[in-house]
Amino acid sequence: MKTTEKTAIAAANGILMSDHGTVEHGDKTLVLTQDAYPTSGSFPVPGGATYTGDWYEAHAVDAGGTDYRVIWTDVDYETEDESEACDWDDPDYVLEA
């Protein structure tokens, strides 16, 4: 998807795209509406299992305005550089909110 299309998705949802970035999920581009933040607990994952532990999470929207939870569970808590804590381009879970 071209940058102008990503900017249009963000603008349609009242978001400044440069603020938080985007994530590709399947055939959709999701625009993050916030910075990812660390959290913990548990949440249901596809297939009926439950993930329990620590993760980073951010809210996102697609071009149609659908809300998503974008979740990164493979986290390197030993790094001092948060930009290297996860593979930010490849979240572990994207769940419709």
Please list the residues that pair with 54 across neighbouring strands.
40
Say if residue 30 is exposed, middle or buried (CB neighbours under 10 Å; 0-12, 13-18, 19+): buried
Rounded Cα distance between 46 and 39, Å, is 20
Contact 69, 51 (CB under 8 A): no
Say if residue 61 is exposed, middle or buried (CB neighbours under 10 Å; 0-12, 13-18, 19+): buried
The model's pTM is 0.80
* pLDDT of residue 6 exceeding 60: no
The domain ranges of the chain are: 3-96
Task: Specify the pLDDT at position 68.
Answer: 97
* pLDDT of residue 87 exceeding 90: yes
